[in-house]
Chain A
């Protein structure tokens, strides 16, 4: 089992739709969680951190469920510019045991 798993997609949804991605992680000691987006042949860019209480940034909402060990990303009123690959990131450990794990990404394509 992979340490961080994402549905690879692709998700193909119409503009204006709401779309949600989940990401599961296996290490219960994981401490920090993030969502990044990556455009084709570009570097990943931080979308948002994921906090225990959940957080929202405009059309984007991130949730953390420690009991079930998953994080989610909800995109409302999707735009054409939201087309990208969305990567979840889980980090655990500290000092010499630091581990930062990226999922393989979920591809999202928004159609007009």
Chain B
């Protein structure tokens, strides 16, 4: 079975632009979470979606938004990009929400560079 896939793998944007990142979960998984990881730090939780509904939100500004589609794939949108948004964006899928102790499986990430 295919694992979690993300696209694109790398992206370069300029300040003020908008970006959309995409994620396809493992087949059968209904929950998708998004994380931002800057060098030297652990992943920071941005959003969790389950059955197309937002189930959790981290401490990120409203410039960050996401949605989940009927096929459980997801998009993360970031508006008005800042230099500080440069990071590795990770998507993770799980069968159910993490609180029920189902493990998350990560995709390879999208490396976003904002210049």
Contact = CB atoms under 8 A, between A and B. Distances in A.
Do A and B belong to a common assembly? yes
Interface residues of B, number: 27
B4 to A, nearest CB: 8
B90 to A, nearest CB: 6
Contact of B42 (A95, A96, A102): A102
Interface string B82-109: 0000000010000001111101111111
Given A32-B98, A45-B106, A87-B42, 7 more contacts: A4-B42, A31-B101, A32-B100, A46-B103, A94-B99, A96-B57, A98-B48
A104 B41 contact: yes
Given A102-B44, A103-B42, A95 B103 contact: no
A16 interface: no
B42 A100 contact: no
Interface string A27-66: 0000110100000001111100100000000000000000
Contact of B101 (A32, A44, A99, A104): A32
B33 interface: yes
B15 interface: no
Nearest to A46: B103
B58 interface: yes
Contacts of A99: 45, 56, 58
Given A49-B101, A98-B48, A98-B99, A44 B55 contact: no
Given A98-B48, A98-B97, A102-B44, A46 B56 contact: no
A98 B45 CA distance: 10
Nearest to A47: B103
A107 B103 CA distance: 22
A92 interface: yes
